[in-house]
Chains A and B, each alone.
Chain A
Amino acid sequence: MPSLAHYIVLSAVLFTIGALGVLIRRNPIVIFMSVELMLNSANLAFVAFARAYQAVHGQIFVFFVMTVAAAEVAVGLALIVAIFRTKQTIDIDQMSMLKG
């Protein structure tokens, strides 16, 4: 039977891969996906702790994190579409001007 530590280590590994995605990739859509991966690994840790401590509150929190992630994705992708319309590119190295 896997213990709590196994789940937390898996969560840490997934979080690290997500952080690397944010640092390495330069496609903002992939960066957004990496942020989703990090949120997801945090959710996994929440559910593992909820199971270990027999408290359903951790799962409620995961529910709220999912809602915030959905809202974040909607606004973030709308921002990317708006930037693409004005600059015709979404390479993050090109997004260095405050006033385009």
Chain B
Amino acid sequence: MTPDFALFLILALVAVASALGMLFSKNAVYSALYLIINFGTVAVFYLLLSAPFIALAQVTVYAGAIMVLFLFVIMLLGAEQTGRTPARWWNQPLALFLGALLLVEGVYLVFSQRSTLLADLAPAEGFGGPITIGETLFNQYLLPFEATSILLLVAMVGAIVLTRRKARP
């Protein structure tokens, strides 16, 4: 077993374990903290896959901004504990069955195809770095990039409108 593969296995273990921790934590704050671990390990996977720009964007946008927003709302609402209404008894077994079915289906589809070995191809010089990403983004994908800015503006206005208190008459 090469060191690369051992690293992959350990990181995959951490990623799956933290995802399961997020799923089964009773307290929503713990779920959020487990999810931050998961995002961190996925960022390391991006580094292994020679995508340094995406890895750092993952850390700043996902593990930083988005999770701070989550933690802020959890603590603002005091929504740490899960719902108190009893679940229907068939809810959880059905969900587990459907999830297992989805996983088996996905893994079967992956292994029924011919897979490309990542080791066969060495990445080009500077592949996935800020320079190549920026060149592609601002030449070929300029219009989608501008559309994203409008999307973010709309989301910002929407969040403000939704949370604004109505003025009492």
* Chain A residues bordering chain B, tally (CB within 8 A): 72
Determine the chain A residues whose CB is within 8 A of the CB of B61 once the complex forms: 66, 70
Q: Which residues of A contact B (CB under 8 A)?
A: 1-10, 12-21, 23-27, 29-30, 32-34, 36-37, 40, 43-44, 47-48, 50-54, 56-57, 59-60, 62-64, 66-75, 77-82, 84-85, 90-94
Residue of A nearest to B122 (CB): A54
Indicate which residue in A13, A27, A75 contacts B82 across the interface (CB closer than 8 Å). Answer: A27
Query: Across the interface, do B8 and A2 meet the contact criterion of CB distance under 8 Å?
Result: yes
Query: Across the interface, do B162 and A81 meet the contact criterion of CB distance under 8 Å?
Result: yes
Determine the chain B residues whose CB is within 8 A of the CB of A93 once the complex forms: 83, 85
B26-75 residues with Cβ-Cβ distance < 8 A to A are 28, 31-32, 35, 38-39, 42, 45-46, 49-51, 53-54, 57-58, 61-62, 65-66, 69-70, 73-74
* Chain B residues bordering chain A, tally (CB within 8 A): 87
Among all A-B residue pairs, the 4 with the closest Cβ atoms? A71-B155, A23-B95, A91-B83, A1-B119
Query: Across the interface, do B23 and A34 meet the contact criterion of CB distance under 8 Å?
Result: yes
**What secondary structure prevails in chain B residues at the interface with A?**
helix
Residue of A nearest to B119 (CB): A1
Determine the chain B residues whose CB is within 8 A of the CB of A7 once the complex forms: 45, 49, 118
Indicate which residue in B54, B76, B132, B155 contacts A74 across the interface (CB closer than 8 Å). Answer: B155
Q: A56-B132, A59-B54 are in contact. List 17 more A-B contacts (CB 8 A).
A: A2-B118, A3-B117, A7-B45, A7-B118, A12-B107, A16-B106, A17-B20, A29-B28, A51-B49, A52-B118, A54-B123, A63-B133, A67-B151, A70-B66, A71-B155, A75-B162, A91-B84
